[in-house]
Amino acid sequence: MTKVILIGRPNVGKSSLFNRLVGRRIAITSDIAGTTRDTNKEICEIYDKECVLIDSGGLDDSSEIFKKVRDKTLSEAKEADIVLFMVDGKFMPQDEDREIFYSLLGLQKPTALVINKIDSKKDQTRAYEFIEFGASNVFEISVSHNTGIDEIKDFIYPYIKESLKADTEESLDDFLANFDENGEILDDEINQNEPIKVGIIGRVNVGKSSLLNALVKDERSVVSSVEGTTIDPVNESFVYENRVFEFVDTAGIRRRSKIEGIEKFALNRTQKVLENTDVSLLVLDSSQPLSELDEKVAGIASKFEPAMIIILNKWENKGEKEFDEISRQIRDKFKFLSYAPIISVSALDGKRVHKIYPLILKVYENFTKKIKTSQLNEVINEATITHPLPHEKGKLVKIYYSVQFDTKPPKIALIMNRPKSLHFSYKRYLINKIRSSFELEGTPIVIVARDKKKQKDGDEKEE
C-alpha cells in the first residue's frame, strides 16, 4: 500500500495534520516540542483510495532521545512513497529546514513543502520567503482552521495506486455457510479472519519498546534508557501461522504523582488501547524487585478483561530456580492474575521471544472459546454436588442451569432462584472449576447470576 510520510522539525503541526487527514484524533498533540517520538501509522482514505499515512517524530538533535527519533524518521522516509515536509509559517525559513528539505529531494520521490499555521495576511507574506527552497509543490495551510487540506489531498491522490474495495453483497449460500446444521455460528472460521489485537503494557523502562521491536523483527519503536520515551501508542502488524497480530506498544505508566504534561494524555491513550485489546502482554523487569506500581499496572490492564500473558523481560543471566522464585512472588502479589501464564525473555537479545507467538494463539483461543451448554451444566452440577451452595437464612439457594452468552472473555450466566445470594468466594470456586475443566489458561472468566423469575423470552435483567 502507498505510504505517505509527514516530516518536519518538532512542533510544526505534523500530528495535527495527521489527525485531520485520518479524520479522527489518533496522535497526541500538544505545544510541547517532541510530543511525537515514534512513528504513527494509520490507514487513510483520500477520496476513493487508501494509503498508509505516517506521522513521524520531529527532526531534532538536542538530546539522545531526539537523535534516535531523527534516525528513525529519516529511515522511514526512505521507505515511503510520498513525502510531505512541514515547516512552521510563524517563523522565517530556517537553515536547518532548508538542508533537510534538500536531502529529502535527493530521495527522488514525490515531495511537497507544506507551510503550516498560515492564519493571517501577515503569515501569508512571511510564507513567500519559503520560495527560496525552490520547491515545485508548495502548500500554505492552517490545520487549526482546516484550510488547504483539500489541496494536499489533491497532490497525494494521483500517486496512490490502490482504490478502495467495492462492497459486494454476500450471497445466501455464502451466508448460510457460516452456520452449522443446528444453526450455531461457526466461530472458528470467522475468528480465523480476525486480527488478534495485542497490547504491550508495563511501567516505564521495563523494555516494552524493545519487546515490540523483537516481536515484529524491526526497529519499529524508539528505544532509550530515558524513562517515558514512548508517548503515543505504537502499532505494527505481524503475521504468524497465517494469523495477523496487531501489536501496540503503549506508553509506560509511572506513579500518579510523577505523571506530568503530555504523559497525562499518554495514560488516557493507553487505557483507550486496552479497551480494544484481545491479549495484553504485561511486561515486568526481572532485574528489579516487583513493585507496587507493577501491581497497579496489572490492575489497570485486568480491569478491561483481556486475555493476559506475563512477560519477565531482561532475563539475560538467570536460571530455572530464579524463574520459580519470581513466579511464586508474582502469584502471591497478583492473585487476580492467577490464570495468566508467565514466560521469561530477553527482548534486547531476542532470546525466547519466539515462544510468545504460540502462547498468544493459545490464550486467544481460550479467550474466544464457546463452551457447549450440556458440558458446562455437567461441570456446574458436579461442582455444586461436591460443594453445595450455602443457604441464605435457612433458605435453599439453587442453580437451575447455566449457559455461556458471550466470548472475549467467556461470559457465563447462572440462572438461579436467589442470584443475590451467590457469594463471591463461591463464584471464584466455580470459575476455577470451569477453568480447569475446559483448560482456559490465560483468559478471565466472567460469571453473572440471573433470576429465573425475571426471565422473559429468553432475556432477563442481570443482577
Please report the pLDDT score of residue 229 as a whole number: 44
- For cell 450455602, the residue is 390
Please, what are the domains in the chain? 3-159 (3.40.50.300), 176-366 (3.40.50.300), 373-454 (3.30.300.20)
Does 206 carry a binding-site annotation? yes
pTM: 0.60
Largest separation between any pair of C-alpha atoms in the chain: 90
207 labeled binding residue: yes
DSSP 331-364: HHH-GGGTTS-EEE-BTTTTBTGGGHHHHHHHHH
114 known ligand binder: no
195 is in an annotated binding site: no
Q: Enter the DSSP assignment of 251.
A: P
**Is 208 labelled a binding residue?**
yes
Q: Is residue 209 marked as binding? A: yes
Whether 417 has a binding-site annotation, put simply, is: no
pLDDT for res 211: 92
228 labeled part of a ligand binding site: no
Predicted confidence at residue 36, as pLDDT, reads: 43
Is 406 marked as a binding-site residue? no
350 annotated as ligand-binding: no
317 has binding-site annotation: no
Helix/strand/coil (H, E, C) string of 119-178?
CCHHHHHHHHHHHHHCCCCEEECECCCCECHHHHHHHHHHHCCCECCCCCCCCHHHHHCC
Measure the N-to-C terminal CA separation of the chain; round to a whole number of Å: 49
**Dist CA 118 CA 124 (whole Å):** 6
Secondary structure (3-state) at 365: helix
Supply the pLDDT for residue 269: 62
Asked if 73 contacts 57 with a C-beta cutoff of 8 angstroms, the reply is yes
59 is in an annotated binding site: yes
Record the cell numbers describing residue 12, joined without a space: 510544526
Cis check for the bond before 195: say yes or no (omega within 30 of 0).
no
Pairing of strands 399-406, 342-344: unpaired
**Annotated binding-site residue? 327:** no
| C-alpha torsion angle, residues 170, 173, 179, 181 (rounded to 10) | 170
Residue 253 annotated as lining a ligand binding site:
yes
User: In terms of Cα–Cα distance, which of 206, 162, 150, 159 is closest to 346?
Assistant: 206
The helix/strand count (H/E) of the chain reads as 14, 15
Q: Cell numbers of 445, please?
A: 472468566
Q: Was 14 annotated as part of a binding site?
A: yes
User: What pLDDT was estimated at residue 183?
Assistant: 41
pLDDT tens-digit profile, the chain (463 residues): 899 999 888 888 888 899 889 876 655 444 444 444 456 788 888 877 889 998 887 676 544 444 665 667 777 888 889 999 999 999 999 888 888 899 888 889 999 999 999 988 899 999 999 988 988 999 999 988 888 898 999 999 889 986 654 444 444 455 445 545 544 445 544 456 689 999 999 888 888 888 998 998 865 544 444 444 444 446 788 899 989 999 987 765 554 444 444 344 445 666 777 888 999 999 999 999 998 888 888 888 888 899 999 999 999 878 888 999 999 999 988 888 999 999 999 998 989 999 999 999 999 999 999 999 999 999 999 999 999 998 888 889 999 999 898 899 999 999 998 888 888 889 999 999 999 999 999 999 999 888 877 554 444 433 3
Residue 199 is assigned to a ligand binding site: no
Is 216 annotated for ligand binding?
no
Q: Is 55 annotated as a binding residue?
A: yes
Q: Which pLDDT score is estimated for 432? A: 94
